[in-house]
Amino acid sequence: MQSRLTGIGMTSERTRIRMVERLREQGVVDETVLLAMQSVPRHIFVDEALASRAYEDSALPIGHGQTISQPYIVARMIELLRNGGSRSKVLEVGTGCGYQAAVLARVCSEVYSVERIGTLQENARKAARELRLLNLRFKHADGSLGLPEAAPFDGIIVAAAGMQTPPALLEQLAVGGRLVIPLGGRDQVLKVVDRTPDGFHEQTLESVRFVPLLGGLE
């Protein structure tokens, strides 16, 4: 078990350190995020046949038409979510393989992650148990509806692109909270929404590419 977590060769800690150095070169400056990226073994979240490619800066298939996001976009979105500070209670919409949730669990006090595809959610749960991430909770549910029973959240991060921000997510964002979400169809952009006492303030950032945000359960 320990060797699987530690990794060897292209899955070793040395490879993770090189990944973090590349993230710095790409403009990620939040050292808390970089340390979390270095500490989470990305290779355990992908198929064994793809493990040697786990630390490349590319998205990889995880089944069911879904992908694990490239390391840069994971680091970038979490850095944006933190915004130079910390978020104590965070909702992730779109668990996927669980990698981003695991990184979030290293930098946030409480993380709730929602996934509509049951098989993916169960695999993510197993990986989280392997890493002993006790502050990470999963639910098989429609992420576009958020997680009202655990709301409000001071951070929400969405790992799939909708055509518009789901109203439920805005409602479940605490005052002072921040939402990071990709929006669009063929042409997608990353957006940040801050909730203030005066309402919602939105910023549009760089172009991105995500799988679509879908409703319903599988």
Q: Which of 69, 109, 113, 144 is catalytic?
A: 69
pLDDT over 50 (residue 2)? no
**pLDDT value at residue 5:** 64
3-state DSSP of the chain: CHHHHHCCHHHCHHHHHHHHHHHHHCCCCCHHHHHHHHHCCHHHHCCHHHHHHCCCCCCEEEECCEEECCHHHHHHHHHHHHCCCCCCEEEEECCCCCHHHHHHHHHCCEEEEEECCHHHHHHHHHHHHHCCCCCEEEEECCHHHCCHHHCCEEEEEECCEECCCCHHHHHCEEEEEEEEEEEECCCEEEEEEEEECCEEEEEEEEEECCCECCCCCC
pLDDT over 70 (residue 6)? no
The stretch 84-108 carries a mean pLDDT of: 95
Quick: pLDDT tens for 42-72.
999 988 888 889 888 888 989 888 888 999 9
The stretch 156-173 carries a mean pLDDT of: 96
> 8: pLDDT confidence band, cut at 50, 70 and 90?
low
Quick: pLDDT tens for 14-46.
888 999 999 999 999 999 999 999 999 999 998
The stretch 129-137 carries a mean pLDDT of: 94
**pLDDT value at residue 3:** 53
Higher-pLDDT residue of 202 and 4 is 202
The stretch 184-210 carries a mean pLDDT of: 95
> 10: pLDDT confidence band, cut at 50, 70 and 90?
low
Q: Which domains does the chain have, with CATH numbers?
A: 2-208 (3.40.50.150)
Whether 69 sits among the annotated catalytic residues: the reply is yes
